[in-house]
Structure 1
Amino acid sequence: MPGASRTLPAPAVRVTGGSKLGAMNAAGAPEWVVREDASAPTVVALYLRQALGVRSPDELPHLRGIDATPPDRSADEQHELERQWRAYFAMTVEPLAHPSPVPLDLVAGFDTLVALPTEGFDLLEREMRPHAARAVAFARDVQARYAARSDSAGAVAYRAYAGALAQHERRIGRRAHSFELNVQVLPLSQRGVWWIGSLTIAVTDGLRSDIAAFDAAIAPIIAEIA
């Protein structure tokens, strides 16, 4: 009937490994995937951001429980350090989108959590080394707490993504476009959602645990990319 609304069925989803949500792969159907984690390399990078007095990204809140150290360097040296950190952060968050033009080497003291290009990152490597043990311990703790919450929640944790996608499809009257979204659940000092890469958002852990609030927060993200 002309003008009648049409309700699309909710997308069929599967959950694998407790950290990945994807569309059923029917022939010719759009594909979408959400990967959620509290990546230890990402947490280490953000720990170092505060420990080294790096300001960018300006809009992203600090990690809870970590003091932000005022820079104790010349303005030129701090500028160069921040440039190197931004490049390292981009390679850490989305390595496929930001490949290094030279080989990478693991930085001693950080286990396998930090790899830097073999050229052009001497200042950052020198400055980060004294923070290795504390950064690694902090990141491992964050990752362990996330894993415990994720295991206890099971597939229920992914209803927000599936629900937001189904709501978006009903609103626009078609299947969502194929998309990929990476979600980093982090102990940030403010509740919210921030883009930290072209395919990656950071979500405060407290917000992620609040079902109603997270439903409202993730809906516009899904609508933007789908």
Structure 2
Amino acid sequence: MHHTGGPGWRITVDASAPLMIALYLRDASGLIGAGMPSISAIHPPIKAVEPHQLTSQVGGMESLRFEWEQWWAQLLGVFPGRPPQLTAPDFQEFAGHPALQRVVQAHFGAALDWTRQQLAQYELMAAQRETMGDLKILAQLVQDRELELGRNARDFNLSILELPIAEQRAWFLEPNRIVMSQHLLDDPEVFRSYVQPVVEMLV
């Protein structure tokens, strides 16, 4: 986790294991384009497994998509209610979402292994960024806006969640969250094109 801040404002950059697990389960089930926002496929990609046998008795793919999208919205904090905890092996928290429960039961072990691998790689990348000063761009964006406005930044918190996804882009979630590719920072100009408008709005 990285923190950048000044008087009254704070920007946090971190990975999110729950979102990684959810995206793995989405891609493993072939739920292309599910969720709002519709986040890109995970990277490295995984092979989808036809979930028909798992879900045919509990509403099929239509129910699975609906239940996954509701869970995704809870994880992003844009849907009422707290996201359920994941407690193996039965995942009783998903009893009201039987199609999703069966998919979680079938794929949770693989999803957890994949997520742990990605988090380990993220920690290495984050440490390298700290050494190289790559995240100084965040404070610079705030300072540039302060100079433009001729005043200090308003009080704000901005949370940036980085994910191992194929597409280098970001999604803004009102009021103060950004979900983005963990490699977006590799291209400062593209990173700036997504993040600067949000910082300018908050400052």
TM-score by length of 2: 0.80
2:29 equivalent to 1:61 = no
1:32, distance to aligned residue in structure 2 (A)? 2.0
The one of 52, 62, 76 equivalent to 1:93 is: 76
The Cα offsets for residues 144-179 of structure 1, whole Å up to 9 and x where unpaired, read as 111111112227233111111111222233333222
Give the equivalent residue in structure 1 for 2:153. 176
CA change 1:217–1:195 in 2 (3 A) is closer
Residue matched to 1:108: 88
Q: Which residue of 1 aligns with 2:12?
A: 35
1:21 equivalenced with 2:10 (yes/no): no
Confirm whether residue 52 of structure 1 aligns to residue 29 of structure 2: yes
Partner of 1:217: 194
Alignment partner, residue 64 of structure 2: 81
- Root-mean-square deviation (Å): 3.0
Aligned residues: 196
Code of the residue aligned with 2:69 in structure 1: it is R
Q: Which runs of 5+ in 2 are unaligned?
A: none
Match of 1:162 in 2: 139
Percent identity reads 24
Quote how far apart the aligned CAs of 1:104 are. 4.3
- Residue 190 (structure 1) aligned to one of 167, 174, 178: 167
Return the offset for 1:98.
Answer: 4.1
* Structure 1 Cα separation of the partners of residues 93 and 105 of structure 2: 15
Query: How many Å separate the matches in 1 of 2:166 and 2:84?
Result: 32
SS at match of 1:195: strand
Pick aligned residue for 2:100 from 124, 134, 156: 124
In structure 2, relative to structure 1, the CA distance for the partners of 1:109 and 1:151 (3 Å cut) is farther
| TM-score for the superposition, normalised by structure 1 | 0.73
Indicate how the Cα distance of structure 1 residues 68 and 194 shifts in structure 2: closer, same or farther if over 3 A, else same.
Answer: farther
Deviations 1:177-208 (A, max 9, x none): 22222212222111111235653222222222
Query: 2-side partners of 1:162 and 1:56: how far apart?
Result: 34
Give 1:118 deviation, angstroms. 5.6
Segments of structure 1 that go 5 or more residues without pairing to the other structure are 1-17, 25-30
SS of the equivalent of 1:66 reads: coil
Give the distance between the partners of 2:183 and 2:9, measured in 1 at CA. Answer: 26
Relative to structure 1, is the Cα distance of residues 88 and 198 closer, same or farther in structure 2, using a 3 angstrom cutoff?
Answer: farther
- Aligned to 1:157, what secondary structure does the other structure show? coil
SS in 2 for 1:107: coil
C-alpha distance 66-196 of structure 1, shift in aligned 2 (>3 A): farther
Amino acid at match of 1:60: I
1:204 to 1:60, Cα distance in 2 relative to 1, 3 A: same
Q: CA deviation at 1:62?
A: 0.8
What one-letter code is carried by the residue in structure 2 that aligns with 1:152?
Q
**3-state SS of paired residue (1:174):** coil
Q: Which amino acid aligns with 1:106?
A: L
Contact 2:5 2:139 in 1 (8 A): no
Higher helix share: 2
8 Å CA contact retained: 1:109, 1:129: yes
Code of the aligned partner of 2:76: V
Q: Find the aligned partners of 1:197 and 1:79 in 2 and give their Cα distance.
A: 28
Larger Cα-atom Rg = 1
